[in-house]
Structure 1
C-alpha cells in the first residue's frame, strides 16, 4: 500500500526535477537569447534612425516647397479674381488662421472681400430644424420655391444665400431688397453672425470646414448641412469652394468627404483639402477662377481628389515672325 510519505517524496522529486531543468535551460539558452535580443534591438534602433533621417529630409523639402510657393504666390494669382467680390464663410470649429491666410491670397488675386458669415452650432443642430423651417416659411420671398426633396438645411441655405451672393455682376455690392429681414432674423435666433458688410452681395464664396470632422450620432447630418449650405451658395452665386484639410480615412462627419461623395453637388461645387498649405491657398484661387468658367473640381491630397490643383491655363504663345529668304 502506497502511504502518504511516498506521495510526498514523489512530489518533491518532481518539483526538484523541474527546478533543475529550469536552471539548466536558462544557463544553456541565456547567451543565445541575449545575443538575439541585442541584435534585434540594434536593428530596430538603426531602422528608427533611418526613418528619422528620411522624415527630416521630407519635412525639409516640404518647408522649402512651402517657402517657395508662398514667395511666388502673388505672381501666381495676380489678377485672377479682379472685379470679383468674395464672401468668406466660417463654420463651427473652422480655423481662423486658415481663413486669414486664404483671405490674404484672395486679396492678392485682386478679389474684394465682401465680409464674413459665421454659421453657428445651433444652425447645424438636427433638433433645431423646426426653427429653421419656421423662419424660412416666414421670411422667404413669395417667388422663392424649393424642390419637394429639399431638406430643412437645403431650404435655409437657399434663403440665406440669396442675401449674400448673386449671379449678376451688376448687382454685386448691393443688398438684396427681397431678403432685407432674413439676416437680422437668423442673427436674432442665434443661427449665424456676420462681420464686415456681407449684405453687399458677393459673386463668389469660400466656405471653411471644421479643423476636425464632426463626431457623434449627428456627425453625418452636420456634415450634410454644410454641403447644403455650400450648394446653396453655389446656386445663388457664380461659384463656391469648400476648403479645409485632408482627412486620411473616410468618416461620417467630414464635410469635404460628404461633398465628394455627392455625385450631383460635386459637379458644381469645388473643394480644396490643402487649405492649410500655401499650395492649397493658390488652389482656392484657381478653383474660384474655374468656377467662373462654369467648371468644378475636387483638389488636394485627400480621398476623392481629382488632382492636386486645377489645371493652370497655358499662356498663348506669341506669333512667330517668319520671313522667307
Structure 2
C-alpha cells in the first residue's frame, strides 16, 4: 500500500527535477545568448572602428583640399576686383574668422574693403519690425525712391543701399555724406546695428551670415535678412549673400533666398564661406555680379553648382 509519505516524496522529486531542468536549461540558454551578444558587440566594434578610420581619412582629405584652396586662392582671384570697393555687412551670427579671411581675399583680388556694418539680433526681430520700417522710411535720403511695398528688410536694404553703395552705372554716391552718417547713427541708436567705425560708400557688398536663424518668428527673420540683401543688390552694382551650409536650409537666409525666384534673378549666394574654397567662390561671385549675372553656389542641394562657370550635379 502506497503511503502519504511516498506521495509527498514523489511530488517533491518531480518539482526538484523540474527545477534542475529549468536551471540547466536557462544556464545553457544564457550561455548561448551571451556568446551571441559578445559576437555582435565585437562585430559592431569593428564596424565603428572602420567607420571612424574612414571619417578620419575623409576629414584629412578635406583639410588638405582646404589648405590647397587657401594657398592658391589669392592667385585664382588676383585682379578680379581690381580697383573695386566692397562693403562688408555682417549678421550677428556671422563668424569673425570667415569675415577676416574674406577681407584678406578681397584685398588679394585687388579690391578695397570700405568698412563693415554689423547687424544686431534686433535687426531681424519680428517684434521690432515696425520700428525698423519706420526708422528706415524716416531716414530716406532726398530724391531716393524706396519700394512702396515691402517689409522692414526691404526698407532697411533700400536705406543702406542708397547711402552706403554707389550707383551701379555712374559709380557715384547716391546720397550725401550727412545722409549716410544720419542713416548709420539712426540705426545704431535704434539698436539695429552696432556702432559703426569709419564706413565709406562702395560699389559692391557681401552680406555675411552664420547658419540657421532661431527663435520666435524664424520665417520672418530669414525673410528680413534675405529681402535686405536683395534690396541692397538692386541699389548697387552687386551683392553676394554668403554663409555656412546651415544657412542654405529652409530656416536660413540663403535657403529662403533660393526659394524666391525674384531674389535669385539679381542676388548671388554662396553656402560654404566657412571654407577657403567657398571664400574664393564668394569673390568670383562678386565679379560675376559686376558683369550683370547672378548665381547660387556651394555644396548644398539647392545650389546651382560649386562655382561660377561650373555646372551642378544635375547638369
Q: In the comparison of the two structures, how many residue pairs are matched?
A: 298
Asked if 1 retains the 8 angstrom alpha-carbon contact of 2:167 and 2:173, the reply is no
Asked if 2 retains the 8 angstrom alpha-carbon contact of 1:272 and 1:299, the reply is yes
1:111 to 2:111 alignment:
yes
Give CA deviations for 1:223-278 in whole Å, capped at 9, x if unaligned: 111111101210111111111110298442x1111111111101211111111111
**For 1:73, what is the secondary structure of its paired residue?**
helix
**For 1:225, what is the secondary structure of its paired residue?**
helix
Any residues of structure 2 matched to 1:167-246 within 5 Å, and which?
A: 167-168=167-168, 170-171=170-171, 176-177=176-177, 179-180=179-180, 181-193=182-194, 195-198=196-199, 200-210=200-210, 212-246=211-245
Tell me, in whole angstroms, the C-alpha distance in 1 between the residues paired with 2:217 and 2:14: 64
Deviation, structure 1 residue 39: 1.5
The runs of 5 or more residues in structure 2 that have no matched partner are: 1-11, 311-315
* Residue in structure 2 matched with residue 271 of structure 1 by the alignment: 269
Give CA deviations for 1:112-151 in whole Å, capped at 9, x if unaligned: 0010011112222212222223323322235334444311
* Residue in structure 2 matched with residue 125 of structure 1 by the alignment: 125
Tell me, in whole angstroms, the C-alpha distance in 2 between the residues paired with 1:143 and 1:174: 9
Tell me, in whole angstroms, the C-alpha distance in 1 between the residues paired with 2:178 and 2:36: 80
Tell me, in whole angstroms, the C-alpha distance in 1 between the residues paired with 2:31 and 2:244: 52
Asked if 2 retains the 8 angstrom alpha-carbon contact of 1:272 and 1:283, the reply is yes
* Residue in structure 2 matched with residue 319 of structure 1 by the alignment: none
Deviation, structure 1 residue 295: 0.9
The runs of 5 or more residues in structure 1 that have no matched partner are: 1-11, 313-325
Name which of structure 1's ranges 215-224 and 163-172 shifts more when overlaid on structure 2: 163-172
Please give the TM-score of this superposition, normalised by the length of structure 2: 0.86
Query: Alignment RMSD, CA only?
Result: 2.6
Asked if 2 retains the 8 angstrom alpha-carbon contact of 1:247 and 1:303, the reply is no
Please give the TM-score of this superposition, normalised by the length of structure 1: 0.83
Tell me, in whole angstroms, the C-alpha distance in 1 between the residues paired with 2:206 and 2:121: 19
